[in-house]
Chains A and B, each alone.
Chain A
Amino acid sequence: MTTVAVHVEVNGVPYAREVEPRTLLSDFLRHECGLTGTHVGCEHGVCGACTVQLDGEPVRACLLFAVQAHGRSVRTVEGMAQPDGTLHPLQQAFHETHALQCGFCTAGLLMSLEPWLRDRAGGEPVGEREVREALAGNLCRCTGYEAIVEAVLRVVR
């Protein structure tokens, strides 16, 4: 079995591992880094559960080989709250509006929505339609999305 070196910074912490080239970033984060906040759903890029940020951009971790993140910076849901446990405003809004039930999709939603909110800060006003479009790449089978939309609008306001 040939392996490749993967040096990657995850939430500011450097990780150096030797893995098979076929190791998906989603599995690397969970199995090599022990960061199980990133969830693996469909493993073919449809459900969005495994969404993380690569150099600040939302990406499907199941559609990226870990080796492709070599030398790059990854952010996962574990990097959102403050070290003292204070939740990120988006996490806090999810908590307040009950925007999750089983929680399987939540990490992916947070990872997708955070850069989306960042890119829109100070720009055009955001309404329900825009929010629904922004979360169209993340499937949630519990909530019916209503509370998720409410959480995002709460952060926007």
Chain B
Amino acid sequence: MKPAPFRYAAPGSVDEALGLLGEDAKVLAGGQSLVPIMNFRLARPELLVDVNGLAELAYLRRTGGVLRIGALTRHATLERSALVARHWPLLRQAVRHVGHPQIRSRGTVGGSVAHADPAAELPVALAALDARFQVRSAARGVRTLTADALFVAHLTTALEPDELLVEIEVPPLPGGAGTAFAEHARTHGDFALAGCAVVVAPGHAAVALLGAGPVPLRAGEAERALVAGATARQAADLAAAHVAPGHRRALMGALVRDALREAGAP
């Protein structure tokens, strides 16, 4: 299939892009999710605002211990970053599960977040890392959202039609933290049925689930149990209780248990 006709704009600055956004417009970043649904004509935006020329949104910076990811940063850039591998290994562990190399060379971190596919890896990893999401609009300026506030439902975020996700801030990991990402898909690169991103450190635990609902889910009981000394298996059982009984619950339990052990939980 071919996309329906649309008007195309390639703004030269973020301000210019913000001036174009609105009800009938859609942001084109990496296009690895948007273009397929346009090819199927499930999406028929009237105006496509191509942000790929906005070099000011493509960066990875560490300032004051905080990682700042420009929304236009490609998956491949995140995957190859020595800075990310050293200080936020969870992001590297997660991004390797995103599609295939051909997808990762175009796909963007901001695009993954704004598309909010429940099977996407990066939103889950970013939720586990307590990331904050900076969005901008011409009318209301900048606001910063947590993962909880941003991810609303299946393919739905709190972003207004005139807003653009511009930056993702990731706080430093606690000292001595171990991290892991695990998922299961029927075939490599396909949408995952279940998965998790975990952080384990003295006095701190984060367990974010993929496939336990329409948005990334933090398994609070499992996290509190880990801090109180629970084993990987005990915490995994608590996390898996968020999934309906049967195959998926068993799968989630096994994935969380293995990920927690890889991250250093007893």
Q: Measuring CB to CB, which residues of chain A are less than 8 angstroms from any residue of chain B?
A: 1-2, 4, 20-22, 24, 27, 43-45, 48, 51, 54, 57-60, 62-65, 67-68, 112, 116, 133-134, 136-137
Point out the residues of chain A lying under 8 angstroms from B40, CB to CB. 44
- Of residues 23 through 77 on chain B, the ones whose CB sits less than 8 Å from some CB of chain A are 28, 31-32, 35-36, 39-40, 48, 50, 52, 76
Contacts known (A2-B7, A4-B8, A57-B105); A64 close to B35, Cβ less than 8 A: yes
Bound-complex Cα distance A112 to B102 (A):
7
- Tell me how far the C-beta of A51 lies from the nearest C-beta in chain B, rounded to whole angstroms: 5
- Tell me how far the C-beta of B93 lies from the nearest C-beta in chain A, rounded to whole angstroms: 15
Indicate if the CB atoms of A51 and B102 lie closer than 8 Å: yes
- Of residues 179 through 212 on chain B, the ones whose CB sits less than 8 Å from some CB of chain A are 187-189
**Option from A22, A58, A136 in Cβ contact (under 8 Å) with B5:** A22
Range of interface residues on B (Cβ < 8 Å): 20 to 34
Instruction: Kindly state whether residue B103 has any CB partner on chain A within 8 Å.
Output: yes
CB-CB nearest 7 A-B residue pairs: A137-B100, A21-B8, A44-B36, A57-B105, A63-B35, A136-B188, A22-B3
Indicate if the CB atoms of A58 and B36 lie closer than 8 Å: no
Instruction: Kindly state whether residue B233 has any CB partner on chain A within 8 Å.
Output: no
Indicate if the CB atoms of B3 and A64 lie closer than 8 Å: no
21 A/B residue pairs, CB under 8 Å, sorted by A: A1-B5, A22-B4, A22-B5, A27-B2, A43-B2, A44-B1, A44-B36, A44-B40, A45-B32, A54-B105, A57-B76, A57-B105, A57-B106, A60-B102, A60-B106, A63-B35, A65-B8, A68-B50, A133-B188, A136-B100, A137-B99
